[in-house]
């Protein structure tokens, strides 16, 4: 499984309608923030009917995620060089950089929205969060398989623990995004708290 | 420093006005959800003027946090028994239980709101998030001081790593809240990923 393969495929129509909707979505979000991003506003600006929009997208989170990927891409892919630990670090650096750019503002808006609407929460989980965790889980599992990490580590839990401080940072500002944070997080999770003979 | 001492003191007026405002806040949030909780709705239901409300509370997050603490308390205090590791586990269990109750819905609402309004983000950081991390940091530091944890651990970062999966769970549903989660998180952070001689 390549790291790319776990990212959910794009949805929605191709061509003119898709372009009109995604361009309008971007303009709305960038000019007035995610809280101004409603399907009604999208209909008005894109001149695509509500029926057509709902034929192709389940909800506004789905449109926003397509817009985000179209306009800003996804967190950068990590090359195969170095230890698994160093690749996890680079993967978290890419995620943190992504959060610090325009996509981070969109993600914050979608996640805010998701607190009040379970359907939006399910969309962002399926489309963004689960794929990001899957990349990390895949890397942790490789570290276990290649005996770089201990054999009884829980790769799924560890993937959650690795990404959680970055999502917390995105949504609460803590811990602050610093260049050293990915290295510090990975080191803390690698070494652990217990006292071991040096 | 006792674990209680790090929790920020309550603010706002005492007596009748406080009671009217907090009761109205609770009724609004419990009947229609946090998204219905605006200062205008609070004025209408409490019959306390907007001027008076803003004299005592900076914003609606401040009212909501007072209401939450008044109606639901704070996460349960952890007794002094056992190892520091077991106390951290119980502290995270108390936090997770709290998130699973009515206070969790209020916290989700405030944190959603905070994505669009920096002043609300600052309020929830100062009033709720920083005090919860401080309790954990205090416990980790004690574990370091008493040589239960390794001497070069970063207590502040570790506190963030301990709480982050629970905040992530509250806001994204992942990892799911299970009875075992606090033990699993603490164990993963205690043992770490590296291969050590058994």
Single out the residue of B172, B153, B3 nearest to residue B88, CA to CA: B3
Strand partners, B149: A194
- CB interface of B with A, residues 79-138, below 8 Å: 85, 108-109, 111-116, 121, 124-125, 129-130, 133
Give alpha helix (H) positions in chain B.
15-32, 39-46, 50-56, 60-72, 84-100, 102-114, 118-124, 130-145, 155-172, 181-191
Residues of A in contact with B161 (CB under 8 A): 161, 164-165, 185, 188-189
**Cβ B171–A33 below 8 Å, yes or no?**
no
CA A72 to chain centre: 12
Interface contacts (A, B; CB < 8 Å): 166
Residues of B in contact with A174 (CB under 8 A): 125, 129-130, 133, 160
The pLDDT value given to residue A198:
52
Distance CA B128, CA B171 (A): 15
Distance CA A106, CA A55 (A): 23
Distance CA B125, CA B114 (A): 10
Radius of gyration of chain B (CA): 19
**Cβ A188–B158 below 8 Å, yes or no?**
yes
Whole-structure pTM value: 0.92
- CB interface of A with B, residues 55-84, below 8 Å: none
For B60-70, what is the mean pLDDT?
96
Residues of A in contact with B115 (CB under 8 A): 34, 108-109, 111-112, 171
Per-residue confidence in pLDDT tens, chain A, 198 aa: 444 444 444 555 668 999 999 999 999 999 999 988 999 999 999 999 999 999 999 999 999 999 999 999 999 999 999 999 999 999 999 999 999 999 999 999 999 999 999 999 999 999 999 999 999 999 999 999 999 999 999 999 999 999 999 999 999 999 999 999 999 999 999 999 999 865
SS3 B149: strand
How many C-beta atoms surround the C-beta of residue A180 within 10 A?
8
Residues of A in contact with B114 (CB under 8 A): 112, 171-172
What is the largest distance, in Å, between two alpha-carbon atoms of chain B?
Answer: 67
Single out the residue of B48, B51, B41 nearest to residue B19, CA to CA: B48
B35: confidence class by pLDDT, cuts 50, 70, 90: confident
Residues of B in contact with A143 (CB under 8 A): 193
State the burial class of residue B198 (Cβ atoms within 10 Å of its Cβ: 0-12, 13-18, 19+): exposed
- Interface-testing mutation among B86, B87, B115, with chain A (most A C-beta atoms within 10 A): B115
The values of phi and psi at residue B8, to 5°, are -60, 140
**Among the ranges given (A134-138, A141-145, B7-11, B22-26), the one the predictor scored with the smallest mean pLDDT:** B7-11
Percent of chain B scoring above 70 in pLDDT: 92
């Amino acid at each position: 499984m390549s790291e790319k393969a776990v990212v959910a495929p794009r949805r929605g129509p191709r061509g003119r309608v898709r372009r009109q909707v995604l361009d309008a979505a971007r303009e709305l979000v960038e000019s007035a923030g995610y809280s101004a991003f409603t399907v009604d506003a999208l209909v008005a600006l894109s001149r695509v009917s509500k029926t057509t929009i709902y034929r192709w997208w389940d909800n506004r989170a789905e449109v926003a995620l397509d817009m985000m990927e179209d306009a800003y891409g996804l967190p950068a892919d990590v090359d195969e060089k170095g230890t698994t630990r160093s690749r996890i670090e680079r993967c978290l650096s890419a995620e943190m950089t992504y959060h610090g750019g325009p996509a981070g503002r969109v993600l914050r808006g979608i996640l805010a929205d998701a607190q009040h609407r379970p359907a939006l929460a399910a969309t962002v989980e399926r489309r963004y969060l689960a794929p990001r965790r899957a990349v990390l889980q895949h890397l942790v599992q490789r570290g276990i398989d290649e005996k770089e990490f201990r054999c009884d580590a829980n790769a799924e839990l560890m993937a959650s623990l690795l990404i959680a401080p970055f999502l917390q940072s995105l949504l609460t500002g803590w811990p602050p995004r610093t260049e050293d944070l990915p290295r510090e997080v990975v080191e803390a999770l690698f070494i652990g708290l217990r006292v071991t003979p040096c």
